[in-house]
Structure 1
Amino acid sequence: MPPASKSAAQSPAKTVGRAALLLRIIASSHNQSLRLVDIAKMASLDKSTAQRLLQRLVLERLAVRDPVRGYRLGPLIYELGLVALPGTNLREVSQPYLHTLAQATGDMVFLVGRSGHESICLSRIAGNYPIQTMTRTEGDRHPLGVGAGGLAILASMRDAEIRLVLEAVQPRLQAYQITPERILKAIDDTRGRGGIAIDAGNAALDVTAIGRTVHDRGRAPVASVFVASIGERMMDSRQKQVTRLLVDCVNSIEHVFH
């Protein structure tokens, strides 16, 4: 029997990759539901291919199709997640330091983790300032480079990795009214500030956020912490104060996480 061709051998892996992409797209939807035509467009797939993959995901309980609202993540995702926690849980380790930062700044504090070409919100802690910015909820996903948290992570990556990420997420950036060129400029600015990412009204209108990367023991960027507040509260002098507190928080997390 002749050996399988290279393209045939790669086909199952390609299918798995496409299915995973569809799940990430569904998860990144703000309302957690998308129509078939929306998913196909965001995945750069023809409608029939996307439909076949989605039908299989529904069959495996990885996705659910609502006739009115469209597709959302299925119950098997939750069930698998219950046993997928790493040995060292970054979210758990970070909690006391995130609470301290929220109390010290009075503002909303977020922990986001890196998930492939995206960031995912792992934790959200409210401060005591009367106006809190609910820009993200736990489980929200966005392309790396969007928002202070995702920008901080992306700016900490190698240039070759950055190019691959931007190529992968480019079809989704239009929804955020942002371009790869703007993200590259923001990366240069972030590196010029020693790794401090600042997003002033791009990810959320009238909201300014300041983020910094959390590295693992090998200095790979695995997450970030950012503080968000209304723009008029985040003046230059206060940004400096928040940055100092943010750096202390991240340093403390890294010390325990390592």
Structure 2
Amino acid sequence: MYISISVKPACVIPLRVSARMANVIYLQDLQLYNGQLYADKYSRIFAVRDISSKTADEKFTFAVDGTLFSSISCLQPVLGQLRKSSRVHELVTVAGCVTHVDEETAFAWPACGKCDNDLLCEVDESIYLCQSCSGPAQVYTKMSLEVFISCPGLPHHYQIRVKLQQSSISSLLPSTQNDGKGYEMSSVLNKDVGPLHCVVLKARTIPFKNGEEESMQFTLQEIPSWECKLQLQLQEINEMFLED
């Protein structure tokens, strides 16, 4: 089980949290409206830290006992499988075999290995300056790829599109390129992916037509494991403080 929270623009998010430097966060004074939790201008968000550790921005952190911090940090996400009744914004686990590749989404570009920014200036062959870091960039290649997969346990005629994370794309691609010109899309077909943690972006029912079975169309976006952990950690830490 997990809890979804909508963060309104007026809510102040500490840099440590927005920069994804906090593994655990604590939210205070949330608004409950029509069964949905909101963080608004009256809410406060803290990065949770071990009470024995020190940080320069302590006013934006919430210190807890080291044992409690360790137990929360070690939580692993447990999500339900994608199913016919899955709805938009739901977190799910999905695994399957690649049946098709959306070639329009398959591309790569250089990015700064320090700040992850793609505002680079090429000053010489394979030498870049990062406009964000204002200095030489240790470049790596970012990739985009969306695939269609067939999932065990779901009808084969369901259309399941997944926007993959960088690590999943890398695991699908061959270890060597084809003469340095990139990869053949066929090289990822019939390969297994997952289990992946995903959020449902779209869920659409395709009605019966000409005697065919009712079908479903899903668009999923793979999310990093830390985002799933954040949902579970929030629930766990609230339960522990309520018990006290």
**TM-score (ref. length: structure 2):** 0.29
Greater relative contact order (Cα < 8 A, sep 6+): 2
**Which protein is richer in helix relative to its size?**
1
Based on CA coordinates, which of the two structures has the bigger radius of gyration?
Answer: 2
Q: Which has the higher strand share?
A: 2
